């Protein structure tokens, strides 16, 4: 069964969002009927995962545009741009957010009337979601080419179907393997502080019927040394022009550990996650989240009141630690800078 993290209802103009904060114990959907509700859903992680954030934000603009009563195109487009800027404040790191809302704006400004602009907004948001589904499937196909029956992959956070339109990025090979009756195993790092690995990846792979073993983040070195891990595959929130990759906090450590154990370390991501305007990882804005995510676990205090906290949501893996980037255009290896540049705006494959 495939659960969609974001579903647009064309008849009612409602965006149904899977509330990922409630997983794995409750599968609850919330209805967003305004752009503010979408902003809130993204900021507070009801919807998360770079591609899913982008899709939700695109529909956030649709929700605003559908509500807007106006016949003046210029005014409508000015306000739409302001709403784009508002949504852009919801989370800073995943570049898919900015990519998706900019796509909606680019589509809308071609319109000759407000009516047409509204139609273009919906059309574009639906296209972004549809394209992501196809893109992730291709990532799964290319990812699976790197694996064999019986292989074991270690991953972090959740780069699964619920982080995208479908299939996921790092987890996409597991979906394709299941379709083809190929047995793969996974180790999922729990991913403190918000536990996307324990709550989401363990749940998603269980739903899929994949053999998944949950570990705490601090067990990764021992597992890589002792458990015959074939590869580490992770998602990405933003890939800089030189291949440096921002992903969930803890990913950088995994890349170092994989290198130390001579295990390939792959990043799986669509081209919408590649940001050629960001030269290196140093230029990627790293989100810092509320201290309570660290001091508390599911509402229960772990640390003394007043404890000083540092809570970066992401870290950056330098390109030299990345064996390859699995994209919808194929596996990219070697000179990332040159290859990403050449492939980004091109329909050619690797
Ligand atoms: C398929 S992108 C997955 C990506 O989402 C992450 O972060 P968050 O849960 O904070 O949105 C994470 O870094 C994953 O790799």
Report pLDDT digits (tens) over 186-229.
999 999 999 999 999 999 999 999 999 999 999 999 999 999 99
Which CATH number characterizes residue 103's domain? 1.20.120.420
Residue 197 near residue 85, CB atoms below 8 Å = no
Task: Tell me the C-alpha distance between 229 and 271, whole Å.
Answer: 27
| Same domain for 153 and 130 | no
Mutate to test the pocket of ligand 1, among 19, 48, 100, 327 (most ligand atoms within 8 A of CB): 48
Report, as an integer, the average pLDDT of 318-322: 98
- Residue 2's pLDDT is what? 80
| Same domain for 335 and 196 | yes
ipTM above 0.95, yes or no: yes
Say if 19 falls within a structural domain. Answer: yes
Q: Which atom of ligand 1 is nearest to the CA of 170?
A: 1
Phi first, then psi: what are they for 277, rounded to 5°? -80, -10
Confidence of residue 91 (pLDDT cuts 50, 70, 90): very high
- Residue 70's pLDDT is what? 86
| Same domain for 88 and 193 | no
**Percentage of residues in the chain having pLDDT higher than 90:** 96
Confidence of residue 346 (pLDDT cuts 50, 70, 90): confident
Q: pLDDT, tens digit, for every residue of 54-71?
A: 999 999 999 999 999 988
Q: Is 237 known to be catalytic?
A: yes
**110 annotated ligand-binding residue:** no
Burial 10-47 (b: 16+ CB within 10 A, else e): eeeeebbbbbbbebeeeeeebebeebebbbebbeebbb
| Same domain for 122 and 150 | no
**248 annotated ligand-binding residue:** yes
| Same domain for 97 and 221 | no
Q: What's the CA-to-centroid distance between 68 and ligand 1, angstroms?
A: 32
Which CATH number characterizes residue 301's domain? 3.40.50.10470
Task: Tell me the C-alpha distance between 125 and 100, whole Å.
Answer: 8
Confidence of residue 278 (pLDDT cuts 50, 70, 90): very high
Cβ(191) – ligand 1 distance below 6 Å: no
Confidence of residue 348 (pLDDT cuts 50, 70, 90): low
**196 annotated ligand-binding residue:** yes
Confidence of residue 97 (pLDDT cuts 50, 70, 90): very high
Residue 265 near residue 255, CB atoms below 8 Å = yes
| Same domain for 147 and 120 | no
Residue 50 near residue 236, CB atoms below 8 Å = yes
| Same domain for 167 and 131 | no
Set 132, 237, 275, 315: catalytic member: 237
Q: Which atom of ligand 1 is nearest to the CA of 49?
A: 5
Choose the final residue of a domain: 135, 161, 177. 135
- What is the number of domains present in the chain? 2
Q: pLDDT, tens digit, for every residue of 300-317?
A: 999 999 999 999 999 999
Q: What's the CA-to-centroid distance between 164 and ligand 1, angstroms?
A: 10
How crowded is residue 136: how many other Cβ atoms within 10 Å of its Cβ? 29
Residue 125 near residue 66, CB atoms below 8 Å = no
Confidence of residue 296 (pLDDT cuts 50, 70, 90): very high
Atom 13 of ligand 1, residue of closest alpha carbon:
248
Choose the final residue of a domain: 104, 135, 166. 135
Q: Which atom of ligand 1 is nearest to the CA of 163?
A: 1
Say if 1 falls within a structural domain. Answer: no
* Residue 1 in this model has a pLDDT that exceeds 60: no
- Domain span including residue 94: 6-135
């Amino acid at each position: 069964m495939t659960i969609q993290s974001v579903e647009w209802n064309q008849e009612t103009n409602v965006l149904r969002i899977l509330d990922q904060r409630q997983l794995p114990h409750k599968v609850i959907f919330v209805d967003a009927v305004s752009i503010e509700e979408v902003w809130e859903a993204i900021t507070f992680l009801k919807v998360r995962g770079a591609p899913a954030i982008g899709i939700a934000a695109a529909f956030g603009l649709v929700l605003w545009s559908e509500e807007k009563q106006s016949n003046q195109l210029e005014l409508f487009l000015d306000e739409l741009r302001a709403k784009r800027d508002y949504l852009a404040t919801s989370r800073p790191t995943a570049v898919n957010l900015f990519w998706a809302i900019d796509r909606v704006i680019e589509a809308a400004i071609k319109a000759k009337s407000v009516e047409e602009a509204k139609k273009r907004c919906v059309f574009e948001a639906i296209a972004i979601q549809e394209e992501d589904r196809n893109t992730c499937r291709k990532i799964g196909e290319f990812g699976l080419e790197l694996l064999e029956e019986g292989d074991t992959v270690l991953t972090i956070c959740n780069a699964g179907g619920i982080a995208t339109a479908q299939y996921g990025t790092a987890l996409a090979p597991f979906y394709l393997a299941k379709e083809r009756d190929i047995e793969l195993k996974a180790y999922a790092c729990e991913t403190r502080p918000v536990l996307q690995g324990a709550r989401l990846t363990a749940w998603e792979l269980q739903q899929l019927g994949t053999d998944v073993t949950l570990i705490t983040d601090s067990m990764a070195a021992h597992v890589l040394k002792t458990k015959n891990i074939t590869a580490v595959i992770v998602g990405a929130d933003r890939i800089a022009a030189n291949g440096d990759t921002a992903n969930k906090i803890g990913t950088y450590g995994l890349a170092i550990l994989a290198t130390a154990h001579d295990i390939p370390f792959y990043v799986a991501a669509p081209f919408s996650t590649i940001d050629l305007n960001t030269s290196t990882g140093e230029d990627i804005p790293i989100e810092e989240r509320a201290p309570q995510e660290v001091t508390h676990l599911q509402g229960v205090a772990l640390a003394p009141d007043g404890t000083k906290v540092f809570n970066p949501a992401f870290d950056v893996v330098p390109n030299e630690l990345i064996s390859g980037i699995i994209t919808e255009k194929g596996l990219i290896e070697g000179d990332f800078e040159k290859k990403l540049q050449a492939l980004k705006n091109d329909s050619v494959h690797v």
